[in-house]
Structure formats: C-alpha cells, structure tokens
Structure 1
Amino acid sequence: MQHKTIDAPQATRHAQETRLSGNMGVGELVMNVLAFSSPLATVAGTLPVLLMFSGQTAPAIYVLITLMLLMFSVGFVKMSRSVKGPGGFYSFVTAGLGKPAGLGGAFLALFGYIFIGFFAPSFFGVTLNGFVMNSLNGPDVPWYWYALGIIAVTTLLAYNRIDLSAKVLTVVMLLEVAVVVVFDIASFSANGMETVQGAVFALPSLGDATLGLALLFAVGNFFGFEATVIYRDEVKNPDRTIPRATYIAVVGIGLFYALAAWAFIAFLGPDNVQAAAESNTVNLFNDAVAALVGKIFADIAVVLLITSVLACMLSIQNIAARYSFALARDHALPTILGRVHPKHKSPFVSALAVGVIWGAATVVFTILGVAPDVLYPIASGSGTFAVLLLMFITSFAVLVYFLRRRSFAPESIWKSIIAPLVSVIFLGVITYLAITNYPELIGGSALLTVIFMSFTFALFFGGIFYALFLRSKRPNVYARLGRQSAD
C-alpha cells in the first residue's frame, strides 16, 4: 500500500490557505478597539448615565479604571508573547486553567460578544428612523427594516478581508473623535478657565451608594481592548503590534472619556451636573452640543452617532466571528465555521453565521412584538456581564499560568505576579458589583435577571462539561482544544 506524502512546500501552502491573514498596523488595530466602545454613542448615551450616578467624580472614576485595566494589561501582554495562538481569551484560559475551563471561556466569549452586538440593530433602527422622520421629514419606516439593513452591511464588510473593515472603522472613528473633541474644546472655551479649574477631579467616596453602578457602567466603556490578541494572524509583527495597541487603547479610551466627562462638568457646573444628567439623560449631549456649537453641528453629530453604531457592530461581529472560527478549527463547533475565504483570508462562514443569528433574532422578536427599547438594554447588559466574567476568569488564568512557570521559567515578579494579582482583585470586585446590580445592568425584572444570569454561568460550566465529554468520547478533538492547529 502506498502512503501519500506531503512535501514541505505543499505543507506551507496548506497552512497559508487555512489561516486568517491581514495587514493591520498599530493604528488600525487601535481603531478596531475604539470602534467597539462606540465613542460617540458612549459620550451621548452611556456617559450621561454615569454622570447621573457619579456626578463630578466621573473623570476620576475613568482614571481609576484606566490604572486598574493597565494592571490587567501588564500580565495580558506578557502572556500574549508566550501564548501564540490566535484564540484570544480562549487560548489564554486554556493555557492557565486547562482545556475544560478554556472551552467554557470560549463559549462565554462567543455568546457574550454576539449578545453585546445584538443591541446595535434595534438601537440603530430606532435612531435612524427618528432622524429620518424628525430631521429629514421622511417616511416612518418600521425599525426592523433598518435593523436588517445594518446587519446586511456589517456582514458584507466582515465577510471581506479584515483590512477593509479596518479602513472603514478608521475613517468613522476619526470623525467621531473629532466631534467629541470639538465638544470638549467648545465647553472648556465657553466657560472660562475659572469654571474649568473649578471642575476638578473630585475623588469618589467609598461610602457612595451609587459608586458600584458608576464603576460598572464605566468599565464597560473599555471593552474591546481585550480583543487585540484575537487578531494575531491578521496584524503586522504581532509581538510588537498587539502590546502597543493594547496599551494605547486602554490609555486612550480612559483619557478620552475622562476629558469628555470633565467637559460635561465644565458646561453644566460641578454642583448641577448630576441633577442635569438625571433630568435630561437622553438628550444631554445633543442639547449641550447645540447650545455650544449650533444646531447644524448637533445634526452632524446625530448622523455620526448612527455611523458609530454601525462601526461598533462591525467591530463586535469581527471579534465574534473569530471566536467562532477558533472553536471550529479545534472541532468544538461544526468545522464549516472554520473555513477561510480563499481570496479575503477571512472567517467568512463564521461572519455570515453571526449575521444570520442577528437577522433571525430580529425577525423573531419583531413577530413576538418585543419593543426595540426593551431589546437593547437586555442584549448589551447580558453580553457585557458575560465578557466581564470572562475577563475575571482570564485574569485568574494569567496569574496561575505564571505561578506554574516560576519553577522553570521565572519572569519579572511585577509583570507575572503583582500586576495580575491586582487585576484579579479589581475585576473580582467589578464582577461582584455586576452580579449584585444585574437588574440595573439589563434594565429588566427579577425574573429576567435569574434567566440571563443563569444562562451566562451555564455557558461557562456547559463548556467545561462539554470538554470533559470530549476527553472521554473524542480524545482527538479534546487534544486540539485551545491550539487552533491548521491541519
């Protein structure tokens, strides 16, 4: 019997054909991260909610969270140099806590990002319909048609090579950032230096009853930076690009939102900002921009808010598709989801699958008569909790990984022990706050809290049990978990 052999060049070609590929640099990767947090939507939507909880302490809260997430990034970046797999947190948790926990973490990541992203179609539909009717005197189109339209657009972009998404996101992010910077400058200029200096960085009090909710909402504004490692195969020089993009993203996001919060305080006044945010949460930013810069600029900001939602959704879809791809390549999901487009070198089947899930869910909830303003807090809140829980598990995995290696490959105590330990404590506290304040996080009832929180934990433990099943019944698949081999 003759055995077919594969020569070295053929094996190399096979590996290239079955791996994702791209050419993103530091700037483009940072823009992918920034798009996830949807800066204009955050400043217009989430930041007024944070001001309602924290008042003039909001800038200090952002600075505090920036410092804490930098602690997380120290061990995160250090581990990214050791764990080369493109599976993101899936690979990290596997390396630190073993294959069962790794698969549980991968399920949290996949469903968490899909849930977060599902807030966007309904929010986009309602926002765009309102703009068309009120500003353009256009027709009243049901929100779900706009929702299905944006799903089709982002799926088309995610289907293509990552460089196309990166270019689109870079342009949109630069425009969004410019709008917020204009708002900041206008606010600081209009009120004089005395007012600006009076809006100092007031420190929050540990006894403040709303501090937990303020921290919880603020930390969600940083999400996306942790996904830099999922693009390892699609960036130039990943060992340099990923660490730089991670640190720039964390610091950039923190300073960006701290300055925006400070601008709100300077415009509204330190003593009035909390009451103003509570009485006018939805229109706080638009009214402030119109008063400072004019109605035309405020309308431009609304248009960019709409494109901001598109950019956020595209960023999330790219991340979710790559987690699906990683799991499929390890045969933990149907292998068809692990196919690479021959031309675009993208996870095109997984990207299509995410779009189909969002589209089908939109149709189902429309038929059931669920209002869009009910959908997006539940989707974003439950998804945020899943990713937050995953970050806590990952921080623990990073600590365990380096503790195990100290006997044969000791690293800097600061990078491998102290910083990861601080991040475990910090993310543990934030996760606890998320659990205790879950109804406010999803804007739902006690029943919905039980349902969605139970589902989230079931994802993680279900992944563990599934991995144990694979170890017993399909050991060849179990052996692949967490390594995303190309064979």
Structure 2
Amino acid sequence: MNNTTIDALKVSRQTQENRLSGNMGVGELVMNVLAFSSPLATVAGTLPVLLMFSGQTAPAIYLLVTLMLLIFSVGFVKMSRSVQGPGGFYSFVTAGLGKPAGLGGAFLALFGYIFIGFFAPSFFGVTLQGFVVNTLGGPDIPWYWYALAITAVTTLLAYNRIDLSAKLLTIVMLLEVAVVVVFDVASFSANGLGAMQGAGFALPSITDATLGLALLFAVGNFFGFEATVIYRDEVKDPDKTIPRATYLAVVGIGLFYAMAAWAFIAFFGADKIQAEAGNNTVNLFNDALVGLVGRIFADIAVIMLITSVLACMLSIQNIAARYSFALASDHALPRFLGRVHPKHKSPYASALAVGTIWAAATALFSLLGVAPEALYPIASGSGTFAVLLLMFITSFAVLVYFARRRSFEPESVWKTVVAPVISVLFLGAITCLAIANYPELIGGSAILTLIFMTFTFALFFGGIIYALFLRANRPEVYARLGRQKID
C-alpha cells in the first residue's frame, strides 16, 4: 500500500469521524421541525394576533400561505437532491450565488435561529413563574432562574444524539396537537352545525389595510419546515425522507392552523372574532378553553404550553448548532465548534456554545433589569426577519442555480423555473412587508428598528466581505466554503 493510498484512507477516516449521524425517519423529522413552530404556543399566542388583523379571513390566509410555501418547496426539494451537502441553506446559496453569498447566508441562518430561540427562555420563565405562583400557590421565584433552567435542559438534550431529541419532540408534539384538536372539536360542537357553517371561509381582499401584517405573521408560523435539509446526515435515506418530511410539514402546519383559526371563528362568531381578538388577545385561547371544556383542562393546556416552549427551544437549538457546526467544519468559525461527539455523533460543542450564549444573554439582561416581556418580541421578531430574508435569498439562489444548468442539463420547467420564480416573487413581497412593518414585528421603537434591521443586513454583507477576505488571504479556507456535494 503506497503513501498516497494511506493518506487517502486517513482523510476518509477523519471525515467519517467528523460526520454527524442519526436514524430519524419521516415522522420523527416532521415532528422535529414542527416543534419549531410551537403549535400550542402559536394557537394561544400568535393566532389571536393574526385574528386581530384578519378576522374571519384567517383560515383562507393560512391556506394561501400553505399553497405558496408548497410551491417554494418544489424548488427547495429539487435543490436538496442536487446539492447534497449537509449545510442546508448555506449549501444552497453557495451553489446558486457563490461562496461569498453562501457565507453571508450562513451567518443569517446562524444568528437568525439563535435570535429566534432566545425568545423562549424569557417567555418560559414568565409563563412558568405565573403558573407556579397563581395556579399552584407556590413560591415567587424570579423568572431568570426558570430561564436558565430550561436552557440547561435543552442544551443537555441537544448535546446528545439527535434521536433522543426526536423521540422527546414527537411525544410533546402529539400531546400539543391533542390539546388543540380537543379545542377544535369542542368549538365546532358547542353551537351545532349551523355555527360551523356560519363560520365559513372568507377570502381576504387585497385592499385590506392589515392584510400585509396578517400574511407576515402567518408565514412566520410555518418556520421550521425549511430546516429539514440541515439534518441530511442524520436521517434514513435522505433523498426520500427530506422531501416527504418537507411537504408533510408544510401541509400539516397549514391545515392545523387553518382549522384552529376556523374553530376560533366558530366559537366567537364571524362578525365578532376580530373585535374579541383585539380586546382580549393574550387570554383569548385560555378563556375559550375554560368556556368550552372547563378550568381543569385549561390548566392542563397551560402545562402543555410550558412544555411546548421547551420543545420549540430544543428544535431551534438543534438547528442553530448544525449551522454553527457546518461553518466550523469549513473553518469559517473556530474549529472546536466543529467537533462531533464520539458516542452521540452530535455537534456537541456547537450545542454547548448556543446554550452558553442564551444563558449569558439571560443573565446579562436580568442584571440590567430588562423586563422579560420586552425581550421575547424583539428576539423572535428580529430572528424571524433574518430567516425570512434568508429564505428569499435562497429562493433566488435556487432559480439562478437551475437557470445556469438548463444549457447542459435541462429539467422540468415547473420545478426549475416556474415554481422558483413564484417563490422569489412571493417571498420578496413578504420580505418587503416585513421591512415596512418591522416595528410591529419586533414590538419596538424606531431606534430599535434601525439597530436590528441594520444588524441583520450587516450579517449578510459582512459574510460576503469575510469570504472575500478569505479568498485573498486564506484560499485553503475559502475553497472549503459551502459544504457542497453537487450532482
């Protein structure tokens, strides 16, 4: 055996040792990404806000967004079969728009998901604190201790093999869905078939002043489905599992929230739902549950809401850790973040880093006396905008990638031209709406809007500048960018 062969075997062995591993099937992958949208928290918290903007048109808006994101998924799935690296959108943008844009997209992904996830510790802390004091009559422990505790729990789970997270998330998701299904059935049954028919779907008008905000909030409820590709190395038969999980996630999220919105309308009445949601946004779901199935079930739903936030945070931490791992493996971030646990085959160093960032931020803001209620809308809104911007950039990258290939490898016009064009137009319009309504998205002032929006765009362009620096000064690192394996 010559030296070249020995060196090749060493490289192959090192690659295998530094590769993530798992055994998720379609169902587990779907539940893993559905946890991101935190179904119960969305129905209890975000859906009343959307009803306040849209009223009885909310179900139709969810179905419209479902259709648009299914069209996005056509090019997305096609891209996942052509670009087989485990870097998710990082790989997709690199393949379509080049390494500089790919690195900018990776920074958007990493910081976007870290920001979105940071809503959870403060929200969890406030919710659990209120439940312990007001419902259980327990001690008034400061919210930040609960926030630090949940961060420790999710970090421990993210540290372990992905299959453990997938099993836990599957159980929590099934329980969450069961609570909302009980609400749906009870609502439709409360006033008989007539009320259900009276709450039929109403189509939104393009002249509705609040349609843009309603669409923006609805699209945000779907986030998580786009992360299926980041788990390529951790699922069974990725070329089948990822497409099936993607389509199932989009359809499942859309129908689930459309039905829940319809149930709200059936209970409160089509002519009253918008006013009710505006007057009682925070307690709309809880009050409806108490009226339909009683206080005991409503308290059970609060417990499930608390576990829902934990599941959401774990799902986001898993995604953020894998983007950090991808960047570190390409040497764009410190290499220790690219370590794989020898037993769990998880990106444990990156998972620990994400948990440490959340814990440190929680401690810092609590010491500064920042109210937790001020943290989670800013964290969630700014992170949502970063991921939305990334999805728009990715849709454009998909279109460019297949347009370049048509000259030597023409493929389905629907999958490689029509669907990507529709996706670019739709996501571009939603991104413009997000920019126009950014203060409402983060619940902040004009100054905060300027700071966080500037920071978001600086992430993308900063990544481009960093890539150009690497090309000029560290070409061996630049050559690694993108984690690409293109067929």
User: Does TM, scored on the shorter chain, surpass 0.5?
Assistant: yes
Give the drift of 1:9: 5.8
Give me the whole-angstrom Cα distance separating, in 1, the residues matched to 2:6 and 2:252: 48
Give the drift of 1:14: 2.7
TM superposition score normalised by structure 2: 0.98
Give the drift of 1:483: 1.7
Give me the whole-angstrom Cα distance separating, in 1, the residues matched to 2:298 and 2:215: 29
Aligned to 1:451: 451
Q: Deviations over 1:266-295 (max 9, x none)?
A: 000000000000111000001101110111
- 1:373 is aligned to 2:370: no
Residue type of the alignment partner of 2:321: A
Give the drift of 1:15: 2.6
Aligned to 1:389: 389
Give me the whole-angstrom Cα distance separating, in 2, the residues matched to 1:340 and 1:78: 29
Residue type of the alignment partner of 1:331: H
1:277-426 to 2 correspondence within 5 Å? 277-426=277-426
Instruction: Structure 2 unaligned segments of length 5 or more: list them.
Output: none
Verify the 8 A CA contact 1:326 1:484 in the aligned structure 2.
no
Give me the whole-angstrom Cα distance separating, in 2, the residues matched to 1:362 and 1:298: 29
Give the drift of 1:193: 0.7
Residue type of the alignment partner of 2:457: F
Give me the whole-angstrom Cα distance separating, in 2, the residues matched to 1:76 and 1:10: 34
Aligned to 1:40: 40
Identity over aligned pairs, percent: 83
Give the drift of 1:7: 6.4
Verify the 8 A CA contact 2:60 2:204 in the aligned structure 1.
yes
Aligned to 1:6: 6
Residue type of the alignment partner of 1:381: G
Verify the 8 A CA contact 1:327 1:484 in the aligned structure 2.
no
Verify the 8 A CA contact 2:85 2:484 in the aligned structure 1.
yes
Q: Deviations over 1:59-95 (max 9, x none)?
A: 0000000000001000000010000000000000000
Aligned to 1:472: 472
1:222-233 to 2 correspondence within 5 Å? 222-233=222-233
Give me the whole-angstrom Cα distance separating, in 2, the residues matched to 1:213 and 1:326: 34
Q: Deviations over 1:449-481 (max 9, x none)?
A: 000000000000000000000000001100100
Aligned to 1:272: 272
Residue type of the alignment partner of 1:274: Q
Verify the 8 A CA contact 1:330 1:484 in the aligned structure 2.
no
Aligned to 1:211: 211
Q: Deviations over 1:123-151 (max 9, x none)?
A: 00000000000110000000000000000
Give the drift of 1:8: 6.3
Instruction: Structure 1 unaligned segments of length 5 or more: list them.
Output: none
- 1:118 is aligned to 2:83: no
1:150-229 to 2 correspondence within 5 Å? 150-229=150-229
Verify the 8 A CA contact 2:230 2:319 in the aligned structure 1.
yes
Give me the whole-angstrom Cα distance separating, in 2, the residues matched to 1:208 and 1:4: 68
Q: Deviations over 1:291-332 (max 9, x none)?
A: 101111000000000000000000000000000000000000
Give me the whole-angstrom Cα distance separating, in 2, the residues matched to 1:428 and 1:8: 45
Aligned to 2:241: 241
SS for the counterpart of 2:148 is helix
Aligned to 2:93: 93
Verify the 8 A CA contact 2:95 2:484 in the aligned structure 1.
no
Aligned to 1:19: 19
Aligned to 1:130: 130
Give me the whole-angstrom Cα distance separating, in 2, the residues matched to 1:424 and 1:393: 8
Corresponding residue pairs, total: 484
Give me the whole-angstrom Cα distance separating, in 2, the residues matched to 1:32 and 1:384: 18
Aligned to 1:432: 432
CA 7–451 in structure 1, closer or farther in 2 if over 3 Å, else same? closer
SS for the counterpart of 1:375 is helix
Residue type of the alignment partner of 1:128: L
Residue type of the alignment partner of 1:285: F
Give me the whole-angstrom Cα distance separating, in 2, the residues matched to 1:319 and 1:483: 16
Residue type of the alignment partner of 1:235: V
Give me the whole-angstrom Cα distance separating, in 2, the residues matched to 1:320 and 1:198: 44
Give me the whole-angstrom Cα distance separating, in 2, the residues matched to 1:74 and 1:434: 24
Verify the 8 A CA contact 1:329 1:484 in the aligned structure 2.
no
Give me the whole-angstrom Cα distance separating, in 1, the residues matched to 2:6 and 2:49: 60
1:48-59 to 2 correspondence within 5 Å? 48-59=48-59
Give me the whole-angstrom Cα distance separating, in 1, the residues matched to 2:378 and 2:280: 22
SS for the counterpart of 1:205 is coil
Give me the whole-angstrom Cα distance separating, in 2, the residues matched to 1:443 and 1:476: 43
Verify the 8 A CA contact 2:84 2:484 in the aligned structure 1.
no
Q: Deviations over 1:154-208 (max 9, x none)?
A: 0000000000000010000000000000000000011111110111110001111
Verify the 8 A CA contact 1:133 1:139 in the aligned structure 2.
yes
Give the drift of 1:11: 4.7
Give the drift of 1:114: 0.1
Give the drift of 1:16: 2.1
Give me the whole-angstrom Cα distance separating, in 2, the residues matched to 1:7 and 1:213: 57
Residue type of the alignment partner of 1:295: R
